[in-house]
Structure 1
Amino acid sequence: MANGVQEDSWNANLYDKKHSFVSQFGGDLVQLLAPQSGEKMLDLGCGTGDLANQLNQLGADIIGIDKSENMIHQAQKKYPGLTFKVQDAVNMGYTNEFDAVFSNATLHWIKTPKQALESIYNALKPGGRFVAEFGGKGNVQKITAAILNQLGEQGIKYKSEQLPWYYPSIGEYTSIMEQVRFRVTHAQHFDRPTPLSGEQGLRNWIEMFAASMFEGVTSDIKELIITRVEENLREVLFHDGKWIADYKRIRVLAIKE
């Protein structure tokens, strides 16, 4: 999520209004988690709290954490009966505390995966489980390539290390999980074409999730780039009146033994 020492760039209202698909697609992951009544759970990267609320309704004793103060503020406003905290996944400070750690659409924002996985492992009780889904290798490749191409057309140099995301292969990520002593019991890498809301769907997605790619770019040039990205991707990603983002996801289930 957004870095605590930088300005919090997450617009929680835009997230709720235009990007509710993030929580909607998390429903399958909740089924994989199979929460039992009374289990103590951590929702890592809880956003505005929808899935934490769902887990609470299924009987879990849930704490939601996110690095973005904006997201946590919105979650607390929406679900005042639940516990939400501003915390960083790589340094949570929990030890043997949770029956399960759940994470949806968050881990691809963390570019130090081993630190995050060690922190998650430590937070779990022995026998506890970790269930997560996030962007995997090839995620939003068409969108990213189109933005990078247009930045280049404007003479703006952009290195791959500047990308805000970490999209690993399944082998890469599960290897790190095993290094921190998880037993990986399920791992999947799959295409999940994701509808974006309305004619402005791609533009809204870029504004929400790829804003950091335009740091130092004037608003006029940014507008020109986004318009050209829309033009270049319309034939590929716009179908039946809506944009379809080229998502590829990794889903994992692991046990702390």
Structure 2
Amino acid sequence: MKATSHDTHWNASLYDDKHNFVFKYGEDVVQLLAPQIGERILDVGCGTGYLTNLIAKAGARVIGIDKSKSMVDRAQAVYPDLDFRVMSATDFGFDTPFDAVFSNATLHWVLDKEAAVDCIAQALRPGGRLVLEMGGKGNVEEIVVATRKVLTRHGYYSNAATQLWYFPSLSEYTTLLEKKGFRVRFAAHFDRPTELKDTENGIKDFIKMFGNAFFTDIPDTEIETILTEIQDAVRSTNYRNGSWYGNYKRLRIAAVKN
């Protein structure tokens, strides 16, 4: 899920096939949420619905929202009994408040972070909780730096300047939440090196899946050359023991609406 001026085009089947680590790691975040029977819970950035379904299995009444229609279509096909809707993280509203808002691997896509937190706060009842995980400061930094350098070298200066992600520090995001009326109960900023599935083209696949907006209006004939140069540039930092890794740094936060 994302809300940016440079929209990523989501390939839902590729996401489920080669990048399911995104929601598999999110199972721990569901444990932190600890959904209860009968609770109303909103999953912001539900993707293909895997974690939404886990929350529902705990007995909660859950709604999943995502800005990507292809993701929501996939979720509805796989989990037809659940409620999924195409909505942006910066522009959603419901008549009945929720007991909890959950979000995994979504809010770093939302450059208008204040609007997103406003929407989340309005969706929660007083005393309702927010549990989230997102990319934190330094997340996939080597890949981002290499991408910008290679695009610049090829003369694609505006592409190199594309701002796709918002990776805040722990203090930056907890301060934002406190300013918006939350009490932060738990916050961690931690390293999570993440193995990428394709041992030969792990970085290329990662960029095709998550960073395709960097390549807007670049001819297809040049993209593979650029991707190869980016992957070669991060080999020393992101390839070990025969596998490619994304050097992930994550923020995990639990907060309560005052």
TM-score of the two chains, using structure 1 as the length reference: 0.95
Q: Are 1:31 and 2:46 matched, yes or no?
A: no
Aligned-pair identity in percent equals 46
Q: Which residue of 1 aligns with 2:240?
A: 239
Q: CA RMSD in A?
A: 1.8
* Residue 152 to residue 105, structure 1, CA distance change in 2 (3 Å): same
Q: CA deviation at 1:108?
A: 0.4
* Residue 128 to residue 96, structure 1, CA distance change in 2 (3 Å): farther
Q: Which residue of 2 aligns with 1:202?
A: 203
> In the TM superposition, what whole-angstrom CA distance separates every residue of 1:109-168 from its partner, at most 9, and x where no partner exists?
000111100100010111100000000111110001111111111122147762211111
Q: CA deviation at 1:58?
A: 1.2
Asked if the contact 1:190/1:248 (under 8 Å) is kept, the reply is: yes
Residues paired across the two proteins, number: 257
The residue type equivalent to 1:219 in the other structure is D
* Residue 51 to residue 25, structure 1, CA distance change in 2 (3 Å): same
* Residue 190 to residue 119, structure 1, CA distance change in 2 (3 Å): same
What does 1:11-90 align with in structure 2 at a 5 Å threshold?
11-90=11-90
Asked if the contact 1:4/1:67 (under 8 Å) is kept, the reply is: no
Asked if the contact 2:3/2:110 (under 8 Å) is kept, the reply is: no
Q: CA deviation at 1:94?
A: 2.4
TM-score of the two chains, using structure 2 as the length reference: 0.95
Secondary structure of 1:77 counterpart: helix
Asked if the contact 1:8/1:69 (under 8 Å) is kept, the reply is: no
Q: Which residue of 1 aligns with 2:108?
A: 108
* Residue 160 to residue 224, structure 1, CA distance change in 2 (3 Å): closer
Asked if the contact 1:95/1:124 (under 8 Å) is kept, the reply is: no
Q: Which residue of 1 aligns with 2:255?
A: 254
The CA distance in 2 between the partners of 1:2 and 1:188, in whole Å, is 22
Q: Which residue of 1 aligns with 2:168?
A: 168
Secondary structure of 1:108 counterpart: helix
Which aligned segments of 4 or more residues in structure 1 are displaced greater than 4 angstroms? 2-8
The CA distance in 2 between the partners of 1:8 and 1:192, in whole Å, is 23
Q: Gaps (5+ residues) in structure 1? A: none
